[in-house]
Chain A
């Protein structure tokens, strides 16, 4: 276990150093979130004014903006499409060989790389989140319980999301060109996981369908905990369900890799 931690913490450190060299990523990432929330605020403000109402689906305008703000942060932290494209390229070009001849796991190595690459974002966004009770007083993180619940749910969301991307990566053993699939999933995910509109605003039929998918655990679950939209007595069952989705997606990824590696030629596409 100690060896495992030592080995993979080195990967995090290495990517952390690389990430620090390109701080412009952080500035654009921040701009992305702030401009995104600004546009959503303008749209929803007009909707609230046009309807002449204080509440829509149980949200006031401020509550909604706070919810979307947090959703965008979580959405960006869980998205590992860049890492996934690199993994697909490794499979297509024969770059996977270097993982096969070394005592490292392709899956864990890239998971750690993803965490390392995102580390700068984690620090910046956690600063934003720490400032959250001051920016939106009483709208999120009102108790320590919510803070810990959010962190646990965020960890679950990041891991689950990585597993889902990994499944798509493994498909490239059979169909070499799956980058389009990853990009299409990433685009669809922005809306369908509730990153810019809370899932509660979606049509009932859509909600019934996605209740049978892991999508609600990617963004909506952590943010609902942070904002108190999810009653505390439902946390345990939701965490259990989320954990089950992690196991299922991990299992599918492992199985696909097991069979996929037998298809792998090692010479590139």
Chain B
């Protein structure tokens, strides 16, 4: 079954790539927006670190690695999900979700993976190269095992982000027309784009559990920079599993409320 779904995703990707190549201006525009976004974030932290040497445990060079990881998360997310979850509200309001439900595959898979933003590949390649270079220049000894733990943690972070965004998008089943879902996700995402060391007390607890945005980029950055933290990694895996299971449940509950067009 996994192979069948992988093949299916391959077809989605090929189809999306063909579509994207037809609109080259969109492709170039997307890359420009990404570059501006990365530059702005870099500029922000440059200013912050001109006034201080460390933010909690994150030094300037740590934050550079953290930033690149944040950008990679963002790019992978854009690549896989951004073209799918944002339009869910429209699919529900206009009743176009019917066409998705009629297909002989898992509807959540189709809704989540149908469109791929292929232009993100360019940014992704550049960012991965930047991460490799930045981590090789880092004063800490970053070994191959660190990359392995990082990869696991990064995957879990991505699952958490997808789950949270998916849960917010599913609110459209209850609120009928939830156009602000994308905006709300973006606002929650802000918490993941700052190092977790700035969060303390109850905020930290919330960002590590109920709204686990600190697990999206900060924890993978910690795995890469400081090595394996078994407790933290197990915790991240547990949270990501819980959230992904929650998406299955919410999707099923949501579909029960769906009444086709103008529901």
Please, what's the 1-or-0 string for A27-42, where 1 marks a CB less than 8 Å from any CB in chain B? Answer: 1100110011011001
Partner of B40, one of A50, A175, A187, A201: A187
- The residues of A that contact B194 with a CB separation of less than 8 Å are 39, 42-43
Which of B53, B180, B190 contacts A39, CB < 8 Å?
B190
Docked-complex contact B191 and A35, CB < 8 angstroms: yes
Q: Is there contact, CB below 8 Å, between A197 and B44?
A: yes
Question: Judging by beta carbons under 8 Å apart, are B40 and A191 in contact?
Answer: yes
Binary CB contact string for chain B from 21 to 38 against chain A (1 if under 8 A, 0 otherwise):
001011011101100110
Per DSSP, are chain B's interface residues mostly helix, strand or loop, or mixed? Answer: helix
- Do the beta carbons of A28 and B52 come within 8 Å of each other? no
B interface bracket (residues with beta carbon within 8 Å of A): 35 or more
**A46 sits at the interface (CB 8 A):** yes
Q: How far is the CA of A202 from the CA of B178 in the complex (A)?
A: 38
Check B29 against A177 for contact (C-beta < 8 Å): yes
Asked if B40 and A188 sit within 8 Å, CB to CB, the answer is yes
Query: CB of A181 within 8 A of chain B?
Result: yes
B130 adjacent to chain A (CB < 8 Å): no
| Alpha-carbon distance A39/B48, docked complex (angstroms) | 13
Tell me the minimal C-beta distance from A80 to chain B in angstroms.
16
Q: In the docked arrangement, what's the CA distance between A181 and B32, Å? A: 8
Residue of A nearest to B177 (CB): A22
What chain B residues lie within 8 Å of A184 (beta carbons)? 32-33, 36-37
A-chain residues with CB within 8 Å of residue B32 when the two chains form the complex: 180-181, 184
Q: How far is the CB of B217 from chain A (nearest CB, A)?
A: 14
Q: Given A35-B191, A39-B194, A184-B36: A177 and B23 within 8 A (CB)?
A: yes
Complex Cα–Cα for A187 and B30 (A)? 13
Task: Say yes or no: is A47 at the interface (Cβ < 8 Å to chain B).
Answer: yes
Greatest chain B CB density within 10 A among A43, A51, A175, A180 is at A180
Contacts of A42 in B (CB 8 A): 194, 198-200, 203
Asked if A24 CB lies within 8 Å of chain B CBs, one says yes
Contacting pair B37 A24 (CB below 8 A): no
Could you say which residues of chain B place their CB within 8 Å of the CB of A32? 183, 187
Give complex CA distance A177, B20 in Å.
Answer: 13
User: Nearest CB to that of A23 among chain B residues?
Assistant: B180
**What is the minimal beta-carbon distance from B214 to any residue of chain A, in angstroms?**
12
A43 x B198 contact (CB < 8 A)? yes
Q: Which residues of A contact B (CB under 8 A)?
A: 22, 24-25, 27-28, 31-32, 35-36, 38-39, 42-43, 46-47, 50-51, 56, 175-177, 179-181, 183-184, 187-188, 190-192, 196-197, 201-203
Pairs A–B under 8 Å by Cβ, sample size 10:
A22-B180, A42-B199, A184-B33, A187-B33, A187-B37, A190-B40, A191-B40, A191-B43, A201-B51, A203-B47
